[in-house]
Structure 1
Amino acid sequence: MKVIKEGFTVYHNFPIKVLSNEVFKAITNPQDLVHWWPLKCTGIPKLGAEYNFFFGEPYNWYGEVVKYEEHSSFYIKMTKSDKDWSPTTFGFNLYEKDDGITWVHFFHTGWIEENDHFKHSSYCWALLLNGLKNYVEKGIIIPFEDRN
């Protein structure tokens, strides 16, 4: 018998060797997001705004900004996606250190099941967040088709 628990969460904490304003821009600005995550993206970085994350058909997903604190926190609640992602929220909390390093505390919470999609998404987030780090620190852009 399979036991289903609510509230599974992916966590990733890592440093980026730039100031928090640069990291914040890369996680909120659609023109930067497309360099490390979706194929196409639209949205305005402000509370209540809608973002569109397009990964190719049929992956045309939407989310709403549910937390926005400039240079420190940015959360998106998924509003239209596949059944596993729809009840979820992902977010970034940024902590700038005196030595010019920003610690990124990432989470993706609200997963209903710890299923294969949850596990695959956790792995993908690790790869994508490494892409974010390389993009912000070194200007490296991995082509979309090579991101997973």
Structure 2
Amino acid sequence: MSFNIYHNLFIKASQEAVFNAVSIPEHLDNWWSLKSSGTPELGVEYNLNFTDEYNWFCKVSKLELNKLIAFKMTVSDKDWDPTTFQFELEPHNEGTMLKFSHVNWPEANDHFKYSSFCWAMLLSGLKNYLEKGLVIPFEERN
């Protein structure tokens, strides 16, 4: 049995803008990671650096330009290692519906529950970044 996190949110921005924000390192660093690297190409490895202790890696496991990108964790911690997180984008009135998932958690432990909360907060930060140009300093992100 595995456990999954799901969050859907509407963002008043184009699918291309949302896709870039969840796949281009310069944008990722404005709402999620401290410093990241990678390119949105199938099989490419991303480095997601949050601190020296949390210097994680993942690979692009699914990709449809401006529609979907999924990352399979390769180096992280025991809870995140078997997981994949995905951003699926659909047109919605004056913007984009973002369907986020983070699947294959081995157990619904405290880390899983805290990560679900953090993703909700971070995705709110992504929305504010795209809609208002707001960048929250890394030290103040959950």
Normalised by the length of structure 1, the TM-score is 0.94
Q: What amino acid is the match of 2:136?
A: I
Q: Deviations over 1:76-112 (max 9, x none)?
A: 0000000000000000100012x32200000000100
- Asked whether 1:70 is paired with 2:65, we answer yes
Distance of 1:102 and 1:135 partners within structure 2: 14
- Asked whether 1:143 is paired with 2:137, we answer yes
Compare CA radii of gyration and give the structure with the larger one: 1
The CA RMSD measured in Å over matched residues stands at 0.6
Q: Deviations over 1:61-90 (max 9, x none)?
A: 000000110110000000000000000000
Per the alignment, residue 46 of structure 1 pairs with 41
Unaligned runs of 5+ in 2: none
- Asked whether 1:58 is paired with 2:19, we answer no
User: After the TM superposition, which segments of 4 or more aligned residues of structure 1 sit over 2 Å from their partners?
Assistant: none
Normalised by the length of structure 2, the TM-score is 0.98
Per the alignment, residue 96 of structure 2 pairs with 102
Q: Deviations over 1:21-59 (max 9, x none)?
A: 000000000000000001000001100000000000210
Per the alignment, residue 126 of structure 2 pairs with 132
1:81 to 54, 60, 76: 76
Query: What percent of counterpart residues are identical?
Result: 52
Per the alignment, residue 8 of structure 1 pairs with 3
User: What is the aligned length?
Assistant: 142
